[in-house]
Amino acid sequence: MVFIPSGALVVGTPPDFYPRLADEEVPGEQVIVGGFYIDVFPYPNEEGAIPLTNVTAPDAKQLCADRGKRLCGELEWERACKGPDQRPYEYGDRYRDDACGTGTPPQLRPSGLRVGCRSDFGVRDLHGIAFEWTSSPFRRGTTGDLVAARGGNGTSGELVGRCANAVGRAPDAAAASIGFRCCAGALGAPEVELSVRHPRKLEARDRLDSALVAELTKTLPDEARASLLRHGAIEADRQWTWWPAGNDELTIMSFCAGTGRRALCGVLVARVVLGKAKALTWADGGTWQPMLHAENDPRDIWLLGGDDPGAFRRRMTYQWGHVSAGKREKRPVNLKEERGAPKRGGPR
């Protein structure tokens, strides 16, 4: 085993980091975790051994107790993974699929094969093999008796391979993809209790917020700003609030410059935290004033725009805290929709 000294843990993922699951992770709050011991490898904690899986959470608890140990709390597990420098991955600040063999479905292999899959505390194979039971309940706005499991593997390696990633599983769910490791010493870490707010909607604001206009204007990407200025003075036109995922409120603002055929408009998607905005993406809407249309899936919305060739739309997709804008697609003009939208330029 290795000893993890008492110290600070930045729990979860701060709002301005990517990837992030806002409805499952604490937004980077600091707690103090007491000192404890943790097994270097998954149970049976032997280099070269195949980790034991297909055990329930109670069975894992008993197997640890038989060795005079206990299951780790999930925040103890996270501290052992992040190390003293709060790294998002046990091996560093950037994702590498070769370090722990992540990016594939969970599969068993002997412990210790991936020499680079170790945290700065010396704990190994926290990812890349099986998920690991913890002693902590999984409380992320969920109902039912779920237990938090950490580590593991999955095809979305950049997401699953983070120290902050957790999944909730029924305690009696024995599976080939779930094992465990043991800890020892007094449990000195709090439990995660995350309240999840999820309106799941796109909402147009009645008026512009002048403070947000100033803040978002400052965060326009350089290329977007230069393009707009070539057409005239930059003006904010509309504002929306978008909830693509629980606990992640985004602000969308449309900007235009110029009039008529010389107009250029687009939308900026940003995350505003404590009054400071971070631009996530910019998408031009042509010469027409942009409109937005929500899909059934709150993670997708359509930017409706147009120019001299005609009307078009662009899908804007949210994934793990990031937003991307797709290419232009032709769309039929909805006359009722167009009559209700003031334009810089439009169909002629």
Q: What is the pLDDT of residues 279-318, one digit of tens each?
A: 999 999 999 999 999 988 999 999 999 988 889 999 999 9
Q: Cα–Cα distance between 71 and 133 in angstroms, integer?
A: 7
The SS3 of residue 136 is: strand
Tokens of 346: 């439009």
Task: Give percent above pLDDT 90 in the chain.
Answer: 88
Note the pLDDT tens digit of each residue in 238-250.
999 999 999 999 9
Note the pLDDT tens digit of each residue in 102-148.
999 988 999 999 999 999 999 999 999 999 999 999 999 888 899 99
Task: Give percent above pLDDT 70 in the chain.
Answer: 95
Q: What is the pLDDT of residue 338?
A: 42
Q: Cα–Cα distance between 150 and 146 in angstroms, integer?
A: 13
Q: Cα–Cα distance between 268 and 310 in angstroms, integer?
A: 22
Q: What residues contact residue 143 under an 8 Å CB cut-off, 6+ apart?
A: none
Q: Cα–Cα distance between 58 and 68 in angstroms, integer?
A: 15
Ramachandran bin of 144, using left for φ above 0, alpha for ψ from -120 to 50, beta for the remaining angles = left
Strands (E) located in 152-232 = 166-169, 178-180, 182-184, 202-204
Cα maximum dimension of the chain: 80
Q: What is the pLDDT of residue 336?
A: 44
Per-residue confidence at 333, pLDDT binned at 50, 70, 90? low
H or E stretch at 273:
strand 264-273
Q: What is the pLDDT of residue 76?
A: 98
Residue 231: how many CA atoms within 13 Å on its side-chain side? 22
Q: What is the pLDDT of residue 341?
A: 45
Q: Check: CB of residue 303 under 8 Å from CB of residue 295.
A: no
H or E stretch at 157:
helix 157-160
Note the pLDDT tens digit of each residue in 175-216.
999 999 999 999 999 999 999 998 878 999 999 999 999 999
